[in-house]
């Protein structure tokens, strides 16, 4: 196996609902690279805590779960991605608002963030990794070859989230979503440890008004310019 240092890495960081999950997944697919959805790990810690009946403020209990929890990211025989926690399928639960809110709470604890560092770095494997989160380019993979900081206006992010929820058949109120997005942005950018901020060498990419295909094409063009893969 190639040493981890030679594995090319693209980090895609940005605020909630900036589309980074969708973009990271599409870029990983286009290149046939591995994908790290780091937010899912924070969500899984919150879910594991809820499943064990842990006190939501008990840092030690959550740190222990972050170290010990058994997590699998799989693609099932029909081609759908599945997330397993202790062997249980939690694919739906992990994307719930409840898990997202829980993740945002546990993510402010330095000891918990430390407990997840090695788990995240272990995703770097040949032929390459696309890592999506808040601190991928600043803390987890500071030597990544390409760092993208994806933004979109708060209004556009609320509208995207609204459409996403409506398409899933969930009730959603645009004003409530705008407020929640603003609250989560504030918590993610103002926390003391690994706050959401672009790495000094990140490329800022504002996706307001751009299609998913346009943003993916831009990220791939940046990777190609930097020679992250052989052009066949
Ligand atoms: O990207 P997401 O919505 O799945 O993330 C859920 C929460 O986890 C988000 O509010 C902030 C936190 N998070 C983090 O602090 N660091 C990361 N690398 C990824 C997510």
For the chain, give every domain's residue range.
9-216
CA separation (Å) from 137 to 10, 65, 144, 171, 200?
8, 25, 7, 35, 9
Q: Does the beta carbon of 184 lie inside 6 Å of ligand 1?
A: yes
Instruction: Over range 78-103, report the average pLDDT.
Output: 93
Tell me which residue has tokens 């103002």. 190
Token pair for residue 48?
């594991």
| Whole-model pTM over 0.75 | yes
Distances (CA, A) of 15 to 124, 152, 189, 207: 23, 9, 9, 12
Q: Which fold has domain 9-216?
A: Rossmann fold (3.40.50)
What average pLDDT does the chain have?
Answer: 92
Decide: 20 in ligand 1 pocket, CB within 6 A.
no
Distance CA(71)–CA(217), nearest Å, equals 31
CB–CB of 147/223 below 8 Å?
no
Q: Mean pLDDT across the stretch 123-136?
A: 96
**pLDDT band at residue 232 using 50, 70 and 90 as cut-offs:** low
Is the C-beta atom of 120 inside 6 A of ligand 1? no
pLDDT band at 5 (very low <50, low <70, confident <90, very high): low
How far is the centre of ligand 1, averaged over its atoms, from the C-alpha of 230 (Å)?
32
Q: Is residue 3's pLDDT more than 60?
A: no
C-alpha of residue 200 to centroid of ligand 1, in Å: 20
């Amino acid at each position: 196996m190639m040493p981890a240092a030679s594995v090319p890495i693209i980090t895609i960081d940005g605020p909630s609902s900036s589309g980074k999950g969708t973009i990271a997944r599409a870029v990983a697919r286009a290149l046939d690279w591995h994908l790290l959805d780091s937010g899912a790990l924070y969500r899984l810690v919150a879910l594991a805590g809820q499943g064990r009946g842990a006190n939501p403020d008990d840092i030690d209990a959550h740190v222990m779960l972050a170290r010990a929890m058994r997590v699998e990211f799989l693609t099932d025989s029909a081609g759908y991605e599945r997330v397993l926690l202790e062997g249980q399928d939690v694919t739906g639960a992990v994307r719930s608002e409840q898990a997202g809110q829980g993740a945002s709470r546990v993510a402010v604890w330095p000891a918990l963030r430390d407990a997840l560092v090695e788990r995240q770095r272990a995703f770097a494997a040949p032929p390459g990794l696309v890592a999506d989160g808040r601190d991928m380019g600043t803390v987890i993979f500071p030597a990544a070859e390409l760092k993208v900081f994806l933004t979109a206006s708060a209004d556009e992010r609320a509208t995207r989230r609204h459409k996403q929820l409506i398409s899933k058949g969930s009730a959603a109120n645009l004003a409530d979503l705008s407020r929640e997005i603003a609250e989560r942005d504030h918590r993610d950018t103002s926390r003391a440890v690994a706050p959401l901020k672009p790495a000094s060498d990140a490329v800022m990419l504002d996706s307001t008004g751009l299609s998913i295909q346009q943003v993916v094409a831009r990220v791939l063009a940046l990777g190609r310019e930097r020679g992250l893969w052989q052009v066949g």
